[in-house]
A and B are shown apart, each in its own frame.
Chain A
Amino acid sequence: MVISPVHYIVAPLLAAFAIALLSKIYKNAARIVPGIVLFYNIVISLVLMPQVLEKGMISEVIAGWEAPWGINLVLTPFSGFLTTAVSVIGFAIWLYGYKFKVRLQGGEVKYYEILQMMMIAGSLGVIITGDLFNMFVFIEIVGITAYSLTAFYRGRDGAEASFKYLLIGSLASIFLLMGILIIYTQTGSLNMAQIAERMPMVPQTMKVTALIFFLIALGIEAEMFPMNGWAPDAYSQAPSPTSAVFAAVVSVAGVYALIRVTFTVFDVEGVHQYLIVMGFVTMLVAEISAVAQVNLKRMLAYSSLGQMGLVLIAFGIGSHLAVFGAIFLMLNHAVIKALLFMSGSYFIYNSDDKRLIGLNGIHKRLPFVSAIFSIAAFAIIGFPPFSGFWSKFYILIAAGDENMIFLIIGILMVTIIELVYYLRTVARIYFYKDEVEHTEHKPSINAIVAMSFLTLFIIVIGIYPNLITGYLHQAADSLLDKASYIQHILK
């Protein structure tokens, strides 16, 4: 069996259906199968990435219909890098959630894992697809599974968050269809490479209208302001491993879709300024809102929005160094945010008061988790010697090279705001009196291993980023190189 990119999608999908069947026979199948499949995904990454880096791109066609008539899956250094990251982090999150008791009024584990698998399959599909409508389908898969997972707990708030997500998400799909419609009528194709080739011939108004629809629709998925109202609710109400997956996988897929469409498919001027401005507004509003939050997961959700804003700013700047920084930041954010949600949820699990007050002095009961949370908080603010520093630094240097002093000052001022609420939480964990009623739930060994692994990543890359800078450079190059993308696929 030759390993090809389609396995990325097929494996989790098959696993989802396999879980449904196998759990009739073997009770624990629902917990084990995802691990096997995600591990297989990592194996695929390790096999395919060297090929990608060597050949420049792998394009695989489905069902024998050659591109551009058929659907093709494209593995460029950029998308390959992201899928590897997603697989590894997904595996770590699975490991963390292995003993996750879907507690209280929850459903059964198998439904949870099925939905989770399909969501990961969908996100991977968004990343590696080379066809616009295929992207739409995968976005919808991610959407439906995400709506269901948000509402997984039977309490009232999950349903509310899910409904809001559904409402906005449906708007996204409708606008996406409108955009695809206009593109299809103008270029006659749905294949991204072919559209990119034919784009110069499309009249300007049509092009810009289609672009606007895509920006709105994918902006909803990528959590851009003002379309990200659904995000804080969804992140905070979903079960904890799902929140981690949202932050690490779904938002990565959303941003990837947005960037792929704006950079590769369209060639409109002014998109970069748009991304910088909207990215900055997203970041500003999100971080400002995070300061006043009382609920830990909601605070982390707003922080996620802020980081995504910074990623968009970096992509907007557009130079090689900026894109490099943006991809680095996406990777860092995925790892760090997943880690924050994982440790944060242990805090919530261990105290009956779900608000931040419940975190007072919790380090006495959970010293290991507290240390990990603190390291992750330091990393996301951008303190050296953790990996978050390098990504912010590269982005700032790239901005400096474009002489954008006000942008730099703006980003740094927002970082100070971020600093305030994260350090406040760290101080609360370590130094307040532990007065809240609590039930003991020590982290199990699998969670400890998963969290340690991700923390180790943060520290090692922080001290020696050279380990991944090579891959990142190639990823950045491949994104900016539109011509070779088209040429490679259409041959």
Chain B
Amino acid sequence: MNTLTIILLILTIGAAFTYFINAVNHKLTAISAFVTITIATGYFFGLAELGDQFKFALGDFSMQWGLNAFSYYFIYIVLGLSWLALLYSIAYMEGKARLGYYYGAFLLTIAGMFGVVISQDFISLFIFWEIMTWASFLLVIYNYYYNIKTEGMKYMIFSAIGAYAMLTAIVFIHHYYGTFLIGEALSKGAFSFNQHIFIPIFLLLGFGIKAAVMPFHVWAPGAYAKTPMSFTAVFSGALSKMGIFGIALVFSTYYITHNAGGFIASQILAWMGGITAVMGTIYALIQTDAKRLLAYSSVAQLGYIVVGLSTGTKLGIMAALYLAVLHAAFKGALFMVAGAVEKQAGTTDMTKISGLIKRMPWTFLVALISIITLAGVPPLGGFVGKWLIYEALITESNNYFLAIVIFFSSTAAFLYSYRFLFGLFLGQEEEETKDVKEAPVTMLIPMLMLSFVSIITGVMPGLVFNPAAKAMNALGFADTNWDMTSLSNIWGNTTDLSLIGIFIIIVFILGFAVLTLKGRKKTKSVGTKDISSSGELWKEGENWTFQQDFFKPFQRAAAPLYKFDMDKIWSDMGNALEAFFGFFRKVYTGNGQTYAIYVIAFLAILLIFKDYIFN
């Protein structure tokens, strides 16, 4: 049997098996899930080859699954991140209830994502997309004990709107172009904006909702924050990339042909991405819960990626794809950090805990590296991504204003990155967190591995450029030239990142050595309290750490931006609809005679107008 089918079978059967084995023995559930994903990942990276294809017929339709470089690129994210997240889950989910349900749905989501990426015909794409959606829905409502109406249903409704828009587009692609195969549709110009414009628009709607693009992002903060953190790592890291996968696919016609019809769409998409980036960042600033902060930050980062995709140039796409992998790595790590803090300290509310650096040093290290990557500071990987985006926006598209918007957003990203770090790890140590222990090893290893990815891509970005370039080839671009360790711009200047990395490390080591050796006699070890208070004396119980209203001045300055509450708009629409429905159902009055009158009245109407209805 084909490798791809086998992997899917492993994942689905593993999901079912895990679900049932929970009834037998709780401890086996996590192990069985982890073993399943290990087998699947190992099988894939060992045996699957580029160009694998699997064609079969299902109910009058011919379906096709295959592996091209574009899919392969995303599978790194899907399988890699999932493997790490499941390793992390073993310790994170220990002792919680309904483990079989959790792991079963997790594995099904992974199967769905895998299926989406390998689908080469629209029907399979839709089928796996839906499986992925409802499996992740099951996980979103996992933590809920009371208030299901909001987050879970919001997620499902928005996903469904997107998915059904996609379905409409798929049905009409079949009607106008006579095929369900993605490749064929692409070559026949199905995604072109010049004819049947609603087809690419609906497809973009479907993919965009999954990628949390404004104004449809309202499900994301709640869903990301309320799901168990081990799943959110995959949710925000990999699932949202499925939307990116789709947008890149749909837009590829525009990329290659650059026809005028798509220009407006690309501008709109670029601005939507830009607004998402800004609004996400702004809302992240005012959060007090670390999880929600990360959730909004995810939305903002996805905005960057969408902006990159919409430029339509080789550099832009490369930037977007690079950022996609990197976002999976650092956001996955950050959500894992938040989960570790939640598990060890009991809460992630930044107003309640702080000063964990002493207690959870390794977690802090991961958080630090990820934050640096997020903010885009060299020598870590995020720098490369940001650099590519800026270059794409400034040199290749004439969208200077958008570049300014993105710049504003990434600068503000510094603010909330620091907030996250400070809020959880730095600052004055609280009474409640005195006994917090470091996270267990099985949770640390995935976090550290993801940080390693951030580090290594900073020095050798070519490791990501290579598969990304191959993916772009598969989309139809000509070869891009890249270098393993250096970045170059159109004017021919090169920056050798490995040199930078080595340089920074040498400076760091030298500086550390000099300072410790020089002040050996004058330095002594102090507690965090002394560091925060810079030597001033304070009384017990007094809190000198600034945790509430952290960015109040900024909030006041940006007040008009905060008035734009998309969430409220959608809620109002939902309530209006419900009231409208409540009115409609009064048709069934419950009085038998009224029903009889309906029948007779309808009969009379039909008899009177019969010539107009039936002719």
Q: How far is the CA of A121 from the CA of B551 in the complex (A)?
A: 75
Please tell me which one of the listed residues A397, A423, A432 contacts residue B174 in the complex, with CB atoms under 8 A apart: A397
- Interface assignment of A50: CB less than 8 Å from any CB of chain B: no
15 new A-B contacts, CB < 8 A, other than A227-B599, A405-B172, A424-B149, are A164-B592, A171-B596, A208-B610, A208-B611, A226-B598, A226-B602, A227-B595, A270-B613, A292-B581, A385-B127, A396-B167, A397-B174, A424-B148, A431-B144, A432-B148
Chain A residues whose C-beta falls within 8 Å of the C-beta of B57 in the assembled complex: 466
- Sample (22) of A-B pairs whose CB atoms are under 8 Å apart: A168-B595, A171-B596, A208-B611, A209-B610, A212-B607, A226-B599, A226-B602, A227-B595, A229-B595, A285-B587, A289-B585, A291-B578, A292-B585, A396-B168, A400-B171, A416-B160, A419-B160, A430-B141, A431-B145, A464-B58, A464-B59, A465-B58
- Interface assignment of B540: CB less than 8 Å from any CB of chain A: no
Please tell me which one of the listed residues A232, A384, A405, A416 contacts residue B130 in the complex, with CB atoms under 8 A apart: A384
Chain B residues whose C-beta falls within 8 Å of the C-beta of A378 in the assembled complex: 134
User: By DSSP majority rule, is chain B's interface helix, strand, loop, or mixed?
Assistant: helix
Q: How far is the CA of A132 from the CA of B156 in the complex (A)?
A: 47
Chain B residues whose C-beta falls within 8 Å of the C-beta of A212 in the assembled complex: 603, 606-607, 610
Chain A residues whose C-beta falls within 8 Å of the C-beta of B584 in the assembled complex: 285, 288-289
Chain B residues whose C-beta falls within 8 Å of the C-beta of A416 in the assembled complex: 157, 160-161, 164
Interface string of B139-182 (1 = CB under 8 A from A): 00110111011001100110011001001100110110000000
Is B156 within 8 A of A384, CB to CB? no
Number of interface residues of B (CB under 8 A): 59
Chain A residues whose C-beta falls within 8 Å of the C-beta of B130 in the assembled complex: 383-384, 389
Chain A residues whose C-beta falls within 8 Å of the C-beta of B590 in the assembled complex: 233
Q: How far is the CA of A469 from the CA of B57 in the complex (A)?
A: 12
> Do A424 and B153 contact each other (CB < 8 Å), given the known contacts A212-B610, A271-B614, A419-B160?
yes
Which A residues are closer than 8 A to B by beta carbons? 163-164, 167-168, 171, 175, 205, 208-209, 211-213, 215-216, 220, 226-227, 229-230, 232-233, 268-271, 273-274, 285, 288-289, 291-292, 378, 383-385, 389-390, 393, 396-397, 399-401, 403, 405, 408-409, 412-413, 415-416, 419-420, 423-424, 427-428, 430-433, 464-466, 469
Give 7 closest A-B pairs by Cβ, nearest first: A229-B595, A289-B585, A400-B171, A164-B592, A465-B59, A412-B164, A270-B614
Chain B residues whose C-beta falls within 8 Å of the C-beta of A409 in the assembled complex: 168
Is B148 within 8 A of A431, CB to CB? yes
Please tell me which one of the listed residues B157, B581, B603 contacts residue A216 in the complex, with CB atoms under 8 A apart: B603
Q: How far is the CA of A258 from the CA of B587 in the complex (A)?
A: 24
- Interface assignment of B420: CB less than 8 Å from any CB of chain A: no
Please tell me which one of the listed residues A208, A393, A396 contacts residue B614 in the complex, with CB atoms under 8 A apart: A208
User: By DSSP majority rule, is chain A's interface helix, strand, loop, or mixed?
Assistant: helix
Q: How far is the CA of A424 from the CA of B148 in the complex (A)?
A: 8
Q: How far is the CA of A338 from the CA of B474 in the complex (A)?
A: 48
Is B168 within 8 A of A168, CB to CB? no
- Interface assignment of B126: CB less than 8 Å from any CB of chain A: yes
> Do A419 and B127 contact each other (CB < 8 Å), given the known contacts A171-B599, A229-B588?
no
Is B607 within 8 A of A209, CB to CB? yes
Chain B residues whose C-beta falls within 8 Å of the C-beta of A288 in the assembled complex: 581, 584-585
> Do A168 and B144 contact each other (CB < 8 Å), given the known contacts A229-B588, A268-B614, A384-B126?
no
Question: In the assembled complex, how far is the CB of residue B572 from the closest CB belonging to chain A, in whole angstroms?
Answer: 17
> Do A229 and B171 contact each other (CB < 8 Å), given the known contacts A288-B581, A383-B134, A465-B58?
no
- Interface assignment of B582: CB less than 8 Å from any CB of chain A: yes
Q: How far is the CA of A403 from the CA of B172 in the complex (A)?
A: 8
Is A269 within 8 A of B603, CB to CB? no
Q: How far is the CA of A208 from the CA of B590 in the complex (A)?
A: 32
Q: How far is the CA of A151 from the CA of B39 in the complex (A)?
A: 58
